[in-house]
Structure 1
Amino acid sequence: MQEMTEDELLVDALGETAFRTMGALTGIAADAGVSLTQLRVLAILRDRRLRIGDLADHLGLERSTMTGLVARASAKGLLAREPNAEDARAVDVVITVAGLEVARSLEAAMRDALLPLTTRLPVDDRHALRDLLERMLR
């Protein structure tokens, strides 16, 4: 069998990390009764309000898909629509108090599920990993 190149090893490690992360996040979302995309929306809206179109762009979704997702989360009391202060025709999506509670609970569950993946690394390596991931995603 042929030995893997450094690039192949990197892609393999990224893939395995993604699969483990997505598996954990999917389970956490399901336990909370939300979809994985709704989990992402709650995390995004914890500290800001966005127009539906901007939120859709941020997530790489069609506006119609985002509208349906917001409607389902609103029916659960997690999100609300409010008029945009700068444009009377626009609507912002905001997190509700109940949504913020769910978001905080999900954040804690994510920490509990994902931090054990890094505990074998020395603190300096964890800092370096975070820095590298942030730089990679910018």
Structure 2
Amino acid sequence: MDTEDHQTVDVLVRLAFVILARLQAHAAATDLSTQQVRLLGILRDSEPTIKELAAQMGTDKSSMSGAVMRAERRGLVSRAPDERDRRAVRVRLEPAGRNLVGAATRQFEVEIGELFESLTERQQALWRDFTLRMLVADAADRCVDL
């Protein structure tokens, strides 16, 4: 690795820590863990199985089952049988979970948006495109659907 590669990695890690710190603060304000915030975020747009959730979040099925169970106890999510595979269950967002993640997302988007204020709209679009390419490549490497 040359110096430029090290700088790229350093910048990426620093940005990850900045975003994670802000995410943790928002999660704490809603009495959620960052894992639960991510879980609710995924469920906004889909009703995956526990196995699919585990793959998307990079964890095992047992840990994901526990996270879903904790969210279910709070009335944030529910489970329903998978219509195509009776052995599997689908996890869906309940209204309380949708309200919670909606409010948290709006606040988080404002705060993260502040990070991008120094960039032009074109630079922001390029950043989104490049980042999405990296995320898609990573998901493909892990055999995960985005």
**Bin of the TM-score, shorter chain as denominator length:** over 0.9
Unpaired segments ≥5 residues, structure 2: 137-146
* Equivalent of 2:110 in 109, 112, 115: 112
* Equivalent of 1:40 in 38, 56, 63: 38
Q: Distance in 1 between matches of 2:123 and 2:86?
A: 49
Cα deviation digits, residues 93-113 of structure 1 (max 9, x gap): 111011111111121021022
Q: How many residues align?
A: 135
Is 1:81 the counterpart of 2:79 in the alignment? Answer: yes
Residue in 2 aligned with 1:50?
A: 48
Counterpart of 1:120 in structure 2: which amino acid? S
Q: CA deviation at 1:123?
A: 1.2
Residue in 1 aligned with 2:139?
A: none
TM-score, normalising length from structure 1?
0.94
TM-score, normalising length from structure 2?
0.89
* Equivalent of 2:100 in 99, 102, 107: 102
- Identical positions, percent: 35
- The structure having more radius of gyration, on CA atoms, is 1
Moved over 3 A (4+): none
SS in 2 for 1:50: coil
